[in-house]
């Protein structure tokens, strides 16, 4: 499974692929494995971890009720997750183990906000999305999230990210005590998923800063230079994520308050709701959040692996796959 059908090399080439070709030529039965290499990178090996960016589109069928588009656009759904390279016990070949961290509002499909493996969600033989809609799962290798060892003190950013995503999932399950979490015109899974990511990175940054050893490390009196440089690159990543968060209408000064009461569990009045729509007009589209993060990863030279499926498992007559879109991505 770790053999790519397509390999895209070069920073600009990867960005162009993300914006223009990622969902190109959708057809029933499609499985496309694409390796994205904006810079030179080692091969993926057993045990390697990556951040999973999950995005799906929708479908159109003459006998299906309800609109498939909003304002002429296909919104779809966005989520983070965790990916790991594992060895298949049957074939002994390397494959991906994907686990979604779904920040999911209450819905009629019965999907519950929480953690779920690929076979229980996309690949479920009973209700898997893989049969009816196009699905993109992109794995990003982020060296700055690997464990740090500062003079014997080990810090694991991946664990912190898992905790923050789990907390956001639990808030969505109970509506932060209100009993309901919903998606509205000014509210989307993209915003709250990004808030969890930023909260995890910011919490890690604050944890390190509170030790009072940062200046000592940077001066060369602490851990080795390579570890310090990796930590400094993580701080730059946090700043870039912050820019993305503010683009999504989340003020940087109240990020912690926002995380404790995510948008999906709020019930703003009409005036506040209108203001939120204007502030976050670009954030209600999962495709926008997906493309922004993947382009950021390309800019930083992170290697990526894209798995794109479209109605695999059998043909359903008259069912038309629809790629997720945004005002700037069609």
Q: What tokens does 172 get?
A: 């969505």
Q: Residue 52: what are its φ and ψ, rounded to 5°?
A: -95, 130
More confident site: 134 or 156:
134
Q: What is the pLDDT of residues 70-95, one digit of tens each?
A: 667 888 889 999 999 999 999 999 99
Q: How many Cα atoms within 13 Å fall on the side-chain side of residue 77?
A: 20
pLDDT digits (tens, 9 = 90+) for 257-316: 555 555 544 555 544 454 454 445 445 688 988 999 999 999 999 999 999 999 998 888
pLDDT tens digits for 177-230?
Answer: 766 676 655 556 787 788 788 888 888 777 777 776 666 666 666 556 777 788
Structure token digits, residue 144: 């700055």
Question: What integer pLDDT is reported at residue 169 of this predicted model?
Answer: 82
Q: Is the pLDDT of residue 149 over 50?
A: yes
Question: Cα separation of 305 and 140, whole Å?
Answer: 7
- pLDDT of residue 246 exceeding 50: yes
Measured CA to CA, the distance from residue 246 to residue 280 in angstroms comes to 9
pLDDT at 118 over 70: yes
Closest to 148 in 3D by CA, of 238, 228, 235? 228
Higher pLDDT, residue 176 or 9: 9
| Contact between residue 307 and residue 136 where contact means Cβ atoms under 8 Å apart | yes
Listing DSSP states for 158-188 in one string gives HHHHHHHHHHHHHHHHHGGGTS-----TT--
Helix (H) or strand (E) holding 288: helix 286-299
Report whether 316 contacts 34 (CB < 8 A): no
- Number of other CB atoms surrounding residue 62 within 10 Å: 7
Nearest to 54 by CA among 95, 30, 82: 82
């Amino acid at each position: 499974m770790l053999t790519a059908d397509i390999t895209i090399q070069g920073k600009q080439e990867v960005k162009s692929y993300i914006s223009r070709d990622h969902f190109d030529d959708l057809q029933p039965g499609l499985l496309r494995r694409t390796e994205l290499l904006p810079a030179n990178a080692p091969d993926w090996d057993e045990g390697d971890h990556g951040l999973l960016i999950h995005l799906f589109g929708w479908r159109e069928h003459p006998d299906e009720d309800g609109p498939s588009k909003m304002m002429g656009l296909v919104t779809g759904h966005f989520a983070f997750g965790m990916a790991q390279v594992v060895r298949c016990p049957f074939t002994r070949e390397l494959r991906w183990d994907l686990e979604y961290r779904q920040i999911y509002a209450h819905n009629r499909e019965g999907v519950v906000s929480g953690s779920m493996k690929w076979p229980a969600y996309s690949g479920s033989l009973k209700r898997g999305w893989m049969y009816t809609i196009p699905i993109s799962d992109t794995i990003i290798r982020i060296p700055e999230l690997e464990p740090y060892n500062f003079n014997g003190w080990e810090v694991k950013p991946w664990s912190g990210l898992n905790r923050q995503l789990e907390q956001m999932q639990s808030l969505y399950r109970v509506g932060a005590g209100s009993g309901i979490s919903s998606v509205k015109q000014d509210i989307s899974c993209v915003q709250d998923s990004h808030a969890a990511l930023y909260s995890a990175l910011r919490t890690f940054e604050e944890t390190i800063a509170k030790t009072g050893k940062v200046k000592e490390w940077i001066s060369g009196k602490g851990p080795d230079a390579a570890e310090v440089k990796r930590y400094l690159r993580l701080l730059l990543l946090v700043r870039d994520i912050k820019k993305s968060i503010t683009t999504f209408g989340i003020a940087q000064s109240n990020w912690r308050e926002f995380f404790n009461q995510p948008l999906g569990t709020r019930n703003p009045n009409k005036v506040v709701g209108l203001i939120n729509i204007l502030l976050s007009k670009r954030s209600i589209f999962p495709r926008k959040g997906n493309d922004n993060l993947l382009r950021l990863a390309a800019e930083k030279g992170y290697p990526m692996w894209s798995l794109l499926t479209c109605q695999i498992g059998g043909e359903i007559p008259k069912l038309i796959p629809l790629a997720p879109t945004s005002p700037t991505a069609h």
